[in-house]
Amino acid sequence: MDSSINVVASKEQSCSAVQDVMGSSENESEQTGTSDSSSSASSPMPMEDLGPVFEVKGIRAATDSSVLTFRISRLDEPDNKDSWWEVTRSSEEFEAFNRLIYDCQKDGGIIFPPLPPSIESKYEDNFLEAPIIHRKQVERYLQLVSSHPTLGRSQALADFLSPTYVLAEKSGRKGIFAKIAESFAGSSQPVKVPHRDIEEFFQNERDWSANYSVHLKTTLNAVLTVIYSEKKIIGQLKHLCTALSMNAPSSYQQETSLIHHRLHSKMADSFLNIQDLTEDGLQRGLCDFYCIWDLYLQYLANEQLMLNRRTALLINYENSNRNWDKAKTHKRDEAEAAKKAAETAFEECSDAARHEIKAFQKQRVQEMRLNLTQLARSELARARQIRAALQRALDQARLFPVPDDPHLSSFYS
């Protein structure tokens, strides 16, 4: 028992509407690994972020998290700020919505919030916490879309959160960005584009993102190992509580057996309390931590996809420049138009991407730091509670009343 206390004590250590609003605030960001340097390419100040239109909160979920219910309220109507409505959406509807916002995107500079992959494709069958993590990630995904300065004010989101929303018939057609996203769905290592960026800002971000994703994946694997270890401890505690509770008094030396039974019952209650604390800490601590950090691993994959889209536009721009240089007189105007179109597409994507990266990194640092702080506090509080429960169990065993019968007292001397 004392060794157990020492172990626990050691823990105390619609599509056009998507284009109407673009940009995010550029307050001073914390150090995130990105470079502040950039080329002289056009980079106008972003439009003022007007804040989210909708507030989203998950309230119910099916056992397997395939169907989720959310409470929705509008934040842009002060007179109706207390009004709200409920919407229930399935995994199929979320996938259709995610494809729609990809299809609506034109310039390719947005870092799309990641829709978590299905439980079956990501987790093992015996991982019982998977539906909980998946539900929280889907809720956070919808909150990230709602708070995005562009996607949050799109008609696509307004329609999806409407009580009258109906899943549209599948057209069988997919936008180019939806196809790219689908090809890398669930991958934390998007394909590398063998073309160095001409701007240091974007090249540094690409290098940092790829390197950070590797370390983040290693961290998440370690967290999963701890979660599985905690689950084994919970299982052993259940067996221990059952064994102690089933220790019924026998007819032989009945008085002694009765005392043993009472003592074991008290110990079983204490270990049952420790089991509850461990289960609660697992869901509120490590699972919440894994949920957010794994979501940002997927977010980084989407950032790398955005950088790859920008590089593709850069390559197209360079090719159009070469074609213009080589164009004959009668094709000069056509080549000029193609060059200007490629230049406009590349610069618009670059401007949007620059603001998106800065906003994303600021948000990532704040949320991951908050999540890590919450985990530390949760684990420290849980360790103290478990230590207190173990100490109470030990004190109860030491202070357990024993009759004055010499025969019985000899067992506890």
Number of other residues whose CB lies within 10 A of the CB of residue 353: 26
pLDDT of residue 394: 83
The residue-averaged pLDDT of 341-347 equals 92
Look up the pTM and report it. 0.77
pLDDT of residue 63: 85
pLDDT of residue 175: 53
Span 249-266, pLDDT tens digits: 555 556 666 777 777 777
Phi, psi of 400 (to 5 degrees): -60, 125
The residue-averaged pLDDT of 305-321 equals 91
pLDDT of residue 49: 64
**Could you tell me which residue, 186 or 116, shows the higher pLDDT?**
116
Assess contact for 301 and 188: CB atoms under 8 A. Answer: yes
DSSP 62-77: -TTSSEEEEEEEESS-
pLDDT of residue 204: 94
* Range scoring the smallest mean pLDDT among 1-10, 255-264, 268-277, 389-398: 1-10
pLDDT at 399 over 60: yes
Domain coordinates in residue numbering, the chain? 2-13+53-169+209-409
Q: Which CATH class is domain 2-13+53-169+209-409?
A: mainly alpha
* Average predicted confidence (pLDDT) for the chain: 80
Number of other residues whose CB lies within 10 A of the CB of residue 134: 23
Q: Across-strand partners of 55?
A: 73
Residue pointed to by tokens 């950090």: 293
Which whole-number Å values give the CA distances from 148 to 42, 80, 187, in the listed order?
Answer: 23, 22, 23
pLDDT at 397 over 90: no
Select from 204, 388, 368, 178 the least CA-distant residue to 291.
368
Span 62-88, pLDDT tens digits: 888 889 999 999 888 777 767 889 999
User: HEC string of 345-408?
Assistant: HHHHHHHHHHHHHHHHHHHHHHHHHHHHHHHHHHHHHHHHHHHHHHHHHHHHHHCCCCCCCHHH
Q: CA 210, CA 359: separation in Å to the nearest integer? A: 18
Sign of the Cα pseudo-torsion (171, 176, 178, 184, in order): positive
Span 125-142, pLDDT tens digits: 888 888 999 999 999 999
Q: CA 86, CA 67: separation in Å to the nearest integer? A: 13
pLDDT at 409 over 70: no
Contacts of 127 (CB under 8 A, 6+ apart): none
pLDDT at 160 over 70: yes
Task: Read off the amino acid at residue 136.
Answer: K
Span 269-297, pLDDT tens digits: 888 888 888 888 887 888 999 999 999 99
pLDDT at 39 over 60: no
